[in-house]
Chains A and B, each alone.
Chain A
Amino acid sequence: VVQETGSNIDIERLRGHHRLMQRIRAFERQALKGLTDKAVLGAIHPSIGQEAVAAGICAGLARDDILLSTHRGHGHTLAKGADPRAMMRELLGREGGNCGGKGGSMHIADFSVGMLGANGVVAANIVIAAGAAHAVRLRGESRIVVVIFGDGAINRGPFLEGLNWAAVFRLPVLFVCEDNGFAAMTRTKAMTGGDGPAARARAIGVPAGEVDGNDILAVESAAAELIDAVRSGAGPRFLCARTYRLTGHTGTDPAAYRPREEVEARWQDDPIARLGQHLRLAGVTDSDLAEDIAAAEAEMARAYDEALATPYPAAADAFAHVQDIGDPRTEAY
């Protein structure tokens, strides 16, 4: 257990993590409610229980650092600084959503904060991240690229190709495997040979660490060390953050393929509750923590209500942003 009973600065930093993790959870709970109400339109993939990974990794990033995410990307996107009001509008397919209602949850992106997109295809973001880092180097920029993917991604070819690419070209990229134990609805271990994500990364030549992904302080410090190495030009690094997906694969998956006792036991390891313990030890009161929850829930309820009151995009928008030459506004058929 990391003791953080030090300065006010430390306490404020941890309190910031707590607020962010509560905001992520409140956003997703609100989105799930929206799914029940049929206002959230397509599939959503909640990251409830994984918030410490998003918060801990992004704590080490500046606004102009680049982040690429997965289909389970609400937390990463919020942690990178995206506006939940625009995100909620996107989930509801409304005007003013981050992607103008064209992407929804699975393609959420906010380029203004360096978040280059969730991705509907597992592992596809890994090779795109390698290329983003390649461009950073070609352009002589000092920022870094971080790509987060799930444990299921290590069984796809782009995992091998992207890590090898980054190793060969010594690119400034941090690969983060958010290992929640499940590849969609199947236990990843049942479908994976070898010794897991970090071992595979090392075999490809990318130095790799492993961390308890439900411990925000451990994630933050492990990420900080690896991010320092990447920033210093040492080449790519890899972090496997072990966590647990407390919900189903999608917002409608009851996850009956795992025993209830397992999930109940994992709730005892809830990363937000664990951070709350640290904060209490540091003198933060229960009512302070409750205040963070109430503020997060109010913010997301407001974002949701505002989104509900926002119109859908105009139908003609379906033809915008396709391509300039051969523009479908004149060349669709």
Chain B
Amino acid sequence: MARLTYLDAGRVALAEEMRRDPAVWALGEDLGRGGVFGQYRGLVDEFGLDRISDAPISEACILGAAVGAAMMGTRPVVEMRFSDFALCAVDELVNQAAKARFMFGGQTRVPMVVREPIGMWRSSAAQHSQSLEAWYAHIPGLVVVCPSTPADNKGLLKSAIRCDDPVVYMEHKSLWPLEGEVPDDPDRLVPLGRASIVREGSDVTVVSWSQQVHIAADAAAQLAKGGVGVELIDLRTLWPWDKPAVLASVRKTGRLIVTHESVSVAGFGAEIAATVAERLHAELKAPVRRLGAPRIPVSYAPPLEDEVRVTADRIAAAAREMLARPQGPSDEKVEGESSSPS
């Protein structure tokens, strides 16, 4: 075990995979100088500029070139800088990378990782703060990963690099400095598609991912003081998501809150809520709750920016409401439906 930041865990993972497999290389803007957040710091010294490749500010070409290079037998790791900028390369990701294997009838594979840092970070406003993971979960052909801890950022990035299909890998910018224990073993992978049970409990299941897991953990600690047992599930991978883990937990607790930083409307929480409602309706002791951002862009000024945050207090309050309420349909106001701005 080593104590590493989330940022360094990702850097170590990439370096280990590049040592292990000469086909792995990385490309993106500013990589020769360590990347915009320092996630590639020092790698060019070990691997050279051919394998830690700078790129022009040409998102479509960075991603499109990775598609071509992947089809030709290399395993590119693409740095998109901000998930917001990756929108300049949606054709290359959605129409090309995600579809090539299928559309060409299995003649080719596109083993690539697309790193798209997400989330709110230091008053970055509307074009540098988005969490668009649900978009990619919607696209057949893609794997979508949202790690929340240093250990997972190492183990999941390694699994993503070894995956033979395109992976959208979404690190949260606020988590870069987060420290944690990280296994040293270069062959210790975290499997894609498996959730982690962060905390066990029997009263309410809270499902989350990325930075929001830490906020949900604060809520769970708060609730524990009041005797409420939260089972907190960090989904880690959005596609494929760990349905067995979530369904087993909700079977046990009978209550589900899904919380994410991204917009609630058509967010991935809706998919989880719908699945649980379809499969476990009779076992639910309260209606499923979704706690995500309202459908407004992220602001710059802190009081405005804070309006989109789902706080630990809100999660705890929702859990208490669910526990207070006997079984039956809800008539309460649903999040995001308030008739006037508060």
Interface residues of A (CB under 8 A from B): 66, 68, 97-103, 107, 109-112, 116-117, 119-121, 124, 126-136, 138-139, 157-158, 160-162, 164-165, 168, 320-326, 328, 331
Contact = CB atoms under 8 A, between A and B. Distances in A.
Contact of B108 (A116, A138, A165, A325): A116
Contacts of A103: 103-105
Contacts of A119: 96
A138 B193 contact: no
A119 B65 CA distance: 15
A138 B69 contact: yes
B64 interface: yes
Contacts of A157: 60
Tier of interface size on chain B: 35 or more
A99 B107 CA distance: 7
Interface of B: 25, 50-51, 55-56, 58, 60-61, 63-74, 76, 91-92, 95-96, 100-108, 140-143, 163-165, 192-193, 239-240
B68 A129 contact: yes
B95 A121 contact: yes
A99 B69 contact: no
A165 B56 contact: yes
B103 A102 contact: yes
B103 A165 contact: no
Contacts of B101: 321-323
Contact of A111 (B55, B92, B107): B107
Contacts of B60: 127, 157-158, 161
A324 B65 contact: no
Contacts of A324: 163-165
B95 to A, nearest CB: 6
B107 A128 contact: no
Contacts of A124: 64, 91-92, 95-96
Given A99-B103, A99-B107, A130-B61, 8 more contacts: A97-B105, A117-B104, A119-B96, A127-B63, A139-B74, A165-B58, A322-B101, A326-B239
Nearest to A318: B102
B104 A109 contact: yes
Contacts of B72: 66, 131-132, 135-136, 139
Contact of B163 (A121, A164, A320, A325): A325
B165 A323 contact: yes
Nearest to B101: A321
A83 to B, nearest CB: 13
B68 A325 contact: no
Given A135-B73, A323-B143, A325-B240, A98 B66 contact: no
Nearest to B144: A326
Most buried by B among A97, A101, A103: A103
Nearest to A168: B56
Nearest to A164: B56
Given A111-B107, A121-B95, A328 B140 contact: yes
Nearest to B238: A326
A109 to B, nearest CB: 5
Most buried by A among B55, B92, B95: B92
Contacts of A107: 103-104
Contact of B65 (A101, A111, A165): A165
Contacts of A133: 68
Contacts of B71: 116, 128, 132, 135
B64 A158 contact: yes
Given A127-B64, A131-B67, A139-B74, A109 B56 contact: no
A68 B96 CA distance: 13
A158 to B, nearest CB: 5
Most buried by B among A97, A127, A165: A127
Nearest to A90: B105
Nearest to B278: A333
Nearest to A162: B61
B140 A323 contact: yes
Given A131-B64, A139-B73, A158-B64, A98 B240 contact: no
A135 B68 contact: yes
A324 to B, nearest CB: 6
A325 B140 contact: no
Most buried by B among A97, A98, A120, A132: A132
Contacts of A110: 107
Contacts of B193: 325-326
Contact of B61 (A66, A99, A112, A161): A161
Contacts of B142: 323
Contacts of A162: 61, 64-65
A110 B106 CA distance: 11
Contacts of A325: 143, 163, 165, 192-193, 240
Give the 4 A-B residue pairs with the shortest CB-CB distance, closest first. A127-B64, A131-B68, A131-B65, A326-B240
B141 to A, nearest CB: 5
Nearest to B63: A127
A168 B62 CA distance: 13
Contacts of A320: 106
A323 B140 CA distance: 8
Nearest to A120: B95
Most buried by A among B63, B100, B104, B239: B104
17 contacts: A109-B104, A121-B91, A124-B92, A127-B61, A127-B63, A130-B64, A131-B64, A131-B67, A132-B71, A135-B68, A160-B58, A161-B60, A165-B61, A322-B141, A324-B163, A324-B164, A325-B165
Given A99-B103, A120-B95, A135-B74, A128 B68 contact: yes
A136 B69 CA distance: 8
Contacts of B66: 131
Contacts of A323: 101, 140-143, 165
A158 B62 CA distance: 10
A111 B109 CA distance: 11
